[in-house]
Amino acid sequence: MSDTPFSTLHRRGFMTTALAAAGGVATGLWGQPALAANTPATQKVLKVGVTSGPHEQVFEAVKKVAERDYGLKIEIVSFSDYVMPNAALDAGDLDANSFQHGPFLQAAIRARGYKLHGVGRTWVGPISLFSKKYQSLDQLPQGAQISLPNDPANGGRVLLLLAKGGLIKLKPGIDPLQGVFASQDDIIENPRNFQFVELESPLLVRSLDDVHAAAINADYAYKAGLNPVRDSLLTESGDSPYVCLIAVQAKNKDVPWLPQLVAAYRTQEVKDFIVKEFDGVVIPSW
């Protein structure tokens, strides 16, 4: 776990958020019903943790919807890694966070004993394989070094992507929605003898200078000017199980402001912003 003090983290100022029911609310595994418009669920300032990049930018767009339709007040708290947002939420320093997909949340709960709950489906940020040296998968040489995230959820996600692309074969039974993540021990065929280098996610872009290819999450790719559709050798499709969500402490899963927060996110206005702003780097889930 990062030992960066929470007090040193960058904070965005207060945002008055109004959360509209237009555009629908989440359904399925992390679904919540919406409350009536113009019915403030709380007068407190809700601290919502995000990672810098697309997650933070989308929440800035949500602010416009929020101020117009509901009376919720939100303070955005920006993080530069994937560890601290859950640590801060579990500690009670945040009311919610929005930066991770469901398998990552489940992995964090199991690894660290967090009492957290995921709700809503926001967007998919496809993880993609990039290279500075090669233009296609066929050009990757025997023994190529491929860097990938060192956390179980995203590292396993990359192995599933490579298997789908026909580069490796995994043993049966891998199911990220059930918390069963692929690891290098699950590779049963690796005909081109690829070598996998596990790194912290923020380091993957920089590793492109040293490896043959790197698997990079959408937010870090976006900040580096990489587009999965235009620049990648291989990328996930929009039906990926790794859809992002909003998380809260488990004890707060029934608070009245939570379905309002989900409803605000899943409006047509926010969807249009995502499509226009990110040009395929981020895919709305509604």
Average pLDDT rounded to a whole number, residues 220-238: 91
DSSP for residue 276: H
Ramachandran class of 237: left when φ > 0, alpha when ψ lies in -120 to 50, beta otherwise: beta
pLDDT at 277: 93
pLDDT band (50, 70, 90) for residue 233: very high
C-alpha distance from residue 147 to each of 73, 138, 178, 212, 223 (Å): 40, 18, 25, 8, 18
> What confidence tens digit (pLDDT) does each residue in 237-279 have?
777 889 999 999 999 999 999 999 999 999 999 999 999 999 8
Verify that 87 and 135 share a domain, yes or no.
no
Verify that 101 and 197 share a domain, yes or no.
no
- Name the token pair of 208: 């492109």
Average pLDDT rounded to a whole number, residues 53-57: 95
Verify that 217 and 153 share a domain, yes or no.
yes
Please say if the pLDDT value at position 56 is more than 90: yes
Other Cβ atoms within 10 Å of 61 Cβ, number: 18
- Name the token pair of 77: 């708290």
**CB contact at 8 A, 50 and 89:** no
Please say if the pLDDT value at position 211 is more than 90: yes
Average pLDDT rounded to a whole number, residues 277-282: 87
Q: What's at 255, amino acid-wise? A: V
Verify that 119 and 136 share a domain, yes or no.
no
pLDDT at 37: 54
Does 14 reside within a domain? yes
Number of domains in the chain: 2
Average pLDDT rounded to a whole number, residues 66-86: 91
Q: How far apart are CA 262 and CA 24, in angstroms?
A: 9
Verify that 15 and 114 share a domain, yes or no.
yes
Q: What is the pTM of this model?
A: 0.75
Q: How far apart are CA 167 and CA 189, in angstroms?
A: 9
Q: How far apart are CA 247 and CA 253, in angstroms?
A: 9
CATH number at residue 157: 3.40.190.10
Please say if the pLDDT value at position 17 is more than 70: no
pLDDT at 16: 31
pLDDT at 190: 98
pLDDT band (50, 70, 90) for residue 128: very high
> What confidence tens digit (pLDDT) does each residue in 30-40 have?
444 444 455 66
Does 1 reside within a domain? no
Q: Which of the two residues, 74 and 280, has the higher pLDDT score?
A: 74
